[in-house]
A and B are shown apart, each in its own frame.
Chain A
Amino acid sequence: MRLVETGNHVAAWGARLSRVEVVSAYPITPQTQVIEEISRFIDEGEMECEYIPVESEHSAMAAMIGAAAMGVRAFSATSAHGLAYMHELLHWAAAVRLPMVMVNVNRALGPGWNIWCDHQDTMAARDTGWIQLYCADHQEILDTVIQAYRISEDPRVILPVMVCYDAFVMSHTYMQVDIPEQEAVDRFLPPFRSLWKLDLEYPFTHGSVIYPDDYEEVRFSMQQAMDNARRVIAEAAREYRDVVGGYHGELVDAYRMEDAEYALLAMGTVASECRVAVDELRESGYPCGLVRIRSYRPFPVAELRELLAPLRVALVIDRAVSFGLEGPLFSEVKAAVYGNGGPSIHGMVTGLGGRDVPYDLIVDNAVAAFKGKLLPGSHWPAVRLNDHHRLVKRSLEEYWKKEGVR
């Protein structure tokens, strides 16, 4: 079946086709249509699912943990402040080793209130033990949600998976998507599996006090699970293509990299904009390609080492910043290829709070980077003083003078 649908509704279809049995979620722009559509599916009898309209995101994640611990497939969706609010329990879900999938619509954090896209929210959840997959089009949202359950519930993994896509640019725009047959999805995605559940016949205690001599091994097992996930993510992508149809790359999605001497690296819809930039750069004589990172955790270390080794220059575009350092993706790309020769790597931070990232901005900065004219370190090419900032600055300066602050 072919539909023209919003990214959010497509995510709901992903949950429906995955035969999710418990959904607990709390509304936040720009995620709301995901849960509205799911509750419509349930009301119309199209999904056999318990929907828990919790009173907060902290509770949304707590309820998911409770549901998954009982042995059923759980789903939630959130964004920005919601993700930040449930942060404590992101750690809990991963470390108690439960499979589950949550969609996060990438949105900026306040203040000031800003509902538009950047990746700061999920970057701040980077070290919680969740697998993070980033999508670049609507079909990929659908396919990735379904794949995410396969990955999450794989006995080699058993970690929660976050499926990320960009606010508005994806959540609210309409695109054509192929909705696969339920039987095809069922062939790809077996019924819920986990390594443990709250079993009345085997009354284990989970998550109790654990002393220093035991704790590190548990965290090491999570690291091993992440390492295993690299293979499982790639397998899931390939098997999904064969059984259901639809392929969007594995840990990375490479575009025109075969003969490339230069590359752009990005995640989400900026990577789509980068495709246009790559074509443009090729026309101007730069043999450039694109590496779109699909899997941010686990990080595609081997893929990047291989793809970047023959290059001269690479430019990493971050839609987030690690304050006091630079864009996190930039840091990590450098760390991944460290000691492997390879290109000089530049980074830029842009597109925060939904600021447009047009392909010509990418092209201009890429050319500067390729020519060695970009300064090292964190580069913010779009930052400028506009009329609003000037206006506020003037009145602030008056206030500061009066208060003797500055």
Chain B
Amino acid sequence: MRLRDFPAEELFLQGSAACQGCPGSAALRVAFKALGRNTVLCVIASCTSVLQSPYPVSALNLPTLNMAFATGGAVGSGMTAAAERLVARGEFEEKPTILVWAGDGGTYDIGIQALSGAAERNADFIYVCYNNEAYSNTGTQRSGATPYAAWTTNTTKGKEEWRKDVAQIMVAHGIPYVATASLAYPTDMFRKFAKAREIRGTRYIEIQAPCPPGWKFPSSHTVKIARLAVQTGMWMLYEHENGRTTYTAGTQRIIQGQAKLLPVEEYLQAQGRFRHLFHPERDEERIAAIQKRISDVFETLQFTHKMKEHLMDIEISPRL
């Protein structure tokens, strides 16, 4: 699948109320293209509540219910249960895809209970967290997804804690599909949505969403920052199904040694939210701490990959 093979139909319409360079609207556009018209949408309180445009117009060309902040997992459960009944009664020939769209605050923090409940019940819907690593709607406060050392309006010297990892928490729920995605790798994202659509049960997709005003970078750099996040290992692309994790796109290339892991500084320096790590002087300690975490993870993954290849070589070597 190449970009030019994406369906031409736009279900996310032009003229939305999003900021310039908004990652949310770009992600919606790709997701809608992959899922198609037979989709019912629930938007959880977030920037997406606003960027869809106010009453009486809408940029969302799918039947849409806006819902309160903590409800994502539960609304999805109710919608899918109702859809089951409508299929049983013959009102739907094919069960529509139920899509819940929430921010990282609505997923990592206030909504994690409802999401966990739904995942444990394996309710049949796709839950998307577009992760702009802060509460953007309320003016960039920290969330459980905000990375270590990042500035937000209530972590003015940089967040002291490391972010949690809800995608891994979802893996631990044993749901049929978990994937991470990036705006810089739209074909990878498209493929993951298209695959998720065909799976039954709870599917969780998390998209890293660099937010120009919140992260303080020029609005033309959204995709560039997203790509740097993957290239420096700050964001990892993978999918998890049937008990196995497969790394994809840029992350896979680093693990397999086809691309180099870039120093995380390149990512940090490109964003105003990490400015205090470099000005007025370099904060070696925090920069090194961030780099170490990433390097440790990739070293392990690269080692495991090499071991596997080595084992494969042994397996397939001719038994003469």
A residues with a Cβ closer than 8 A to B are: 21-22, 24, 48-50, 52-56, 58-60, 62-72, 74, 88-89, 92, 96, 198-200, 202-211, 214
Point out the residues of chain A lying under 8 angstroms from B50, CB to CB: 209
Known: A52-B77, A203-B60, A208-B54. 20 other contacts (CB 8 A): A24-B74, A52-B81, A56-B113, A58-B74, A59-B71, A62-B70, A62-B78, A63-B81, A64-B78, A66-B76, A69-B65, A70-B40, A198-B40, A199-B63, A200-B38, A203-B62, A204-B63, A208-B66, A209-B49, A209-B53
Partner of B58, one of A69, A89, A208: A208
B residues with a Cβ closer than 8 A to A are: 37-38, 40, 42-43, 49-50, 52-56, 58, 60-68, 70-71, 73-79, 81-86, 88, 91, 96, 113-114, 116-117, 120-121, 123
Contact A22:B74 (CB < 8 A) given known A59-B117, A200-B37, A200-B96: no
Q: Kindly state the separation between the CA atoms of A391 and B276 in the bound complex, as whole angstroms.
A: 60
Question: Which 9 pairs between the two chains have the least Cβ-Cβ distance?
Answer: A66-B78, A55-B117, A63-B78, A59-B74, A70-B82, A62-B74, A207-B66, A62-B71, A205-B58
Contact A67:B82 (CB < 8 A) given known A89-B71, A209-B55: yes
Point out the residues of chain A lying under 8 angstroms from B53, CB to CB: 208-209
Nearest chain B CB to A38's CB is how many angstroms away? 14
Which residue of chain B has its CB nearest to the CB of A55?
B117
Q: Kindly state the separation between the CA atoms of A52 and B53 in the bound complex, as whole angstroms.
A: 33
Q: Kindly state the separation between the CA atoms of A147 and B66 in the bound complex, as whole angstroms.
A: 29
Nearest chain A CB to B14's CB is how many angstroms away? 15
Point out the residues of chain B lying under 8 angstroms from A208, CB to CB: 43, 49, 52-55, 58, 64, 66
Point out the residues of chain A lying under 8 angstroms from B75, CB to CB: 62-63, 65-66
Q: Is the CB of A206 within 8 A of B54?
A: no
Nearest chain B CB to A193's CB is how many angstroms away? 14
Nearest chain B CB to A153's CB is how many angstroms away? 15
Point out the residues of chain A lying under 8 angstroms from B120, CB to CB: 55
Q: Is the CB of A22 within 8 A of B65?
A: no
Q: Is the CB of B82 within 8 A of A21?
A: yes
Q: Is the CB of A54 within 8 A of B81?
A: no
Point out the residues of chain A lying under 8 angstroms from B114, CB to CB: 54-56, 58-59, 62
Q: Is the CB of A66 within 8 A of B64?
A: no
* Count, A-B residue pairs, CB within 8 A: 159
Point out the residues of chain B lying under 8 angstroms from A202, CB to CB: 63
Point out the residues of chain A lying under 8 angstroms from B66, CB to CB: 205-208
Partner of B68, one of A60, A64, A88, A209: A88
Q: Is the CB of B64 within 8 A of A198?
A: yes
Which residue of chain B has its CB nearest to the CB of A89?
B68
Nearest chain A CB to B196's CB is how many angstroms away? 19
Which residue of chain B has its CB nearest to the CB of A199?
B63
Q: Kindly state the separation between the CA atoms of A200 and B85 in the bound complex, as whole angstroms.
A: 16
Point out the residues of chain B lying under 8 angstroms from A205, CB to CB: 52, 58, 60, 64, 66
Q: Is the CB of A66 within 8 A of B42?
A: yes
Question: Could you say which of A56, A63, A88, A200 has the most chain B C-beta atoms within 10 Å of its C-beta?
Answer: A63
Contact A48:B55 (CB < 8 A) given known A89-B71, A198-B65, A204-B64: no
Q: Kindly state the separation between the CA atoms of A59 and B43 in the bound complex, as whole angstroms.
A: 15
Q: Is the CB of A59 within 8 A of B65?
A: no
Which residue of chain B has its CB nearest to the CB of A206?
B65
Question: Could you say which of B40, B65, B66, B91 has the most chain A C-beta atoms within 10 Å of its C-beta?
Answer: B65
Contact A58:B70 (CB < 8 A) given known A48-B88, A205-B52, A209-B49: yes
Q: Kindly state the separation between the CA atoms of A22 and B77 in the bound complex, as whole angstroms.
A: 10
Nearest chain B CB to A45's CB is how many angstroms away? 13
Q: Kindly state the separation between the CA atoms of A168 and B54 in the bound complex, as whole angstroms.
A: 47
Which residue of chain B has its CB nearest to the CB of A96?
B65
Point out the residues of chain A lying under 8 angstroms from B79, CB to CB: 66-67, 69-70, 198
Q: Is the CB of A211 within 8 A of B55?
A: yes
Which residue of chain A has its CB nearest to the CB of B58?
A205
Point out the residues of chain B lying under 8 angstroms from A209, CB to CB: 49-50, 53-55
Q: Is the CB of A65 within 8 A of B78?
A: yes
Nearest chain B CB to A202's CB is how many angstroms away? 7
Point out the residues of chain B lying under 8 angstroms from A60, CB to CB: 74
Point out the residues of chain B lying under 8 angstroms from A62, CB to CB: 67-68, 70-71, 74-75, 78, 114
Partner of B63, one of A55, A56, A198, A210: A198
Nearest chain B CB to A94's CB is how many angstroms away? 13
